[in-house]
Amino acid sequence: MNGTFFINGRKEEWSFAPDAVLLDVLREHGCTEVHRGCGEGVCGTCAVVLDGSLVNSCQVFAASAREKEILTVAGIGSIHAPHPLQTAFVETGAVQCGFCTPAMILAAYCLLKKTPNPTDDEIRRALDGNLCRCTGYVKIIEAVRLAARRMSSYE
């Protein structure tokens, strides 16, 4: 089947199998910043923002995501113009192996859109379901806190 997808502001026409999940379709079309982890909706590394909500793309049929806005981490900043969250992750050492990082940043991005000055509890809660297996979450939470401070001082 065919479908139109709006990826990071671009309009794409893609073909896919009726039972394909969004994760596979995104990766097959070059969005490899969306990572494949468990494939069961547990680890969160495949997270994307679908019509404004953070979802596990391995748990979304591509057919049901047609005509929708999809945001991956590549859509919020680039290497030359990084988003404050991306800068904060690098500066605090929250990027370790990097595998969970895109989804962590997207989860934090959704949180800060809704809650610009989150508490540590709110950060932990927003990032639940995003697993990091390098060490832990202290630097990740620190990065979100730092980005929140910087982003609110810009405004």
Chain residues binding other proteins by CB under 8 A are 1, 18-19, 21, 40-41, 44, 47, 53-56, 58-61, 63-64, 107, 110, 125-130
Minimum distance, C-beta of residue 81 to other proteins, in the bound complex (Å): 26
| Minimum CB distance to other proteins, residue 98 (Å) | 19
For residues 120 and 128, which CB has a smaller minimum distance to other proteins in the complex?
128
CB of 106 to other proteins, least distance (A): 9
* C-alpha distance from residue 28 to each of 22, 35, 43, 66, 149 (Å): 10, 12, 20, 16, 37
DSSP 8-state assignment for residue 122 = H
39 within 8 A of 58, measured Cβ to Cβ: yes
CB of residue 66 to other proteins, shortest distance in Å: 9
CB nearer other proteins, residue 46 or residue 95: 46
Question: Which CB, 19 or 155, lies closer to other proteins?
Answer: 19
Residues 144/112, Cβ–Cβ less than 8 Å: yes
Phi/psi class of residue 95: alpha, beta or left (left: φ > 0; alpha: ψ in -120 to 50)? beta
